[in-house]
Amino acid sequence: MLRRMDLAITRELPVTLAQCELTHLSREPIDFPRAVAQHQSYCAALAALGLTVLRLPADPGYPDCCFVEDTAVVLDEVAVIASPGVASRRGETALIASTLAGYRPLVHLELPATLEGGDVLQVGRRLFVGRTTRTSDAGIAALAAAVAPWGYQVVPVAVSGC
């Protein structure tokens, strides 16, 4: 297992991207070719920083699948596989879990706890976790229990608006 991850895991954009979940924004048309070009630039920037970029295939059954940061919280010692707060995203975690299993031991969060990795900010050994419509108190508690053996502290943060 790697101690430090010099790997960026990305996922290609699905042709169904325009059907993605929205919580705080009104739906607007997505310029798919532009989004693909932006994603290519993002991957190139990661590679230019010296990271190995692992590009997983898109899955049109999961319009949000390119947002891989929501599917796991990856720490030096463990990868915590999220339990997405939106039912349409729950199937995204399988590919990420099987990919991360080659690099980290895994802990899976289970319903009714919900947590999305995009609601988590790591600062040293502290994980600040936004309490949102997609991350529940039960999800925050489950994350705290999952990372406690490695000395991480989970700090809930009230989030409003966006």
Q: Is the pLDDT assigned to residue 2 strictly greater than 50?
A: no
Q: Is the pLDDT assigned to residue 24 strictly greater than 70?
A: no
Q: What is the mean pLDDT of residues 61-68?
A: 94
Q: What is the mean pLDDT of residues 24-39?
A: 88
In this structure, the dihedral spanned by the alpha carbons of residues 87, 108, 72 and 158, taken in order and rounded to 10 degrees, is 70
**How many residues does this entry show for the chain?**
162
At residue 1, the pLDDT reads 45
Query: What's the chain's average pLDDT?
Result: 93
CA–CA separation, 46 vs 69, rounded Å? Answer: 15
User: Which residues, other chains included, contact 6 with Cβ-Cβ below 8 Å and sequence gap of 6+?
Assistant: 50, 51, 52
At residue 3, the pLDDT reads 46
CA–CA separation, 39 vs 1, rounded Å? Answer: 28
Would you list the DSSP string of 52-101? Answer: EEEEEPP-TT-TTTT-GGGSEEE-SS-EEE-B-SSGGGGGGHHHHHHHHT
Which tokens go with 17?
């991207």
CA–CA separation, 37 vs 60, rounded Å? Answer: 18
Residue 25 per-residue DSSP state? S
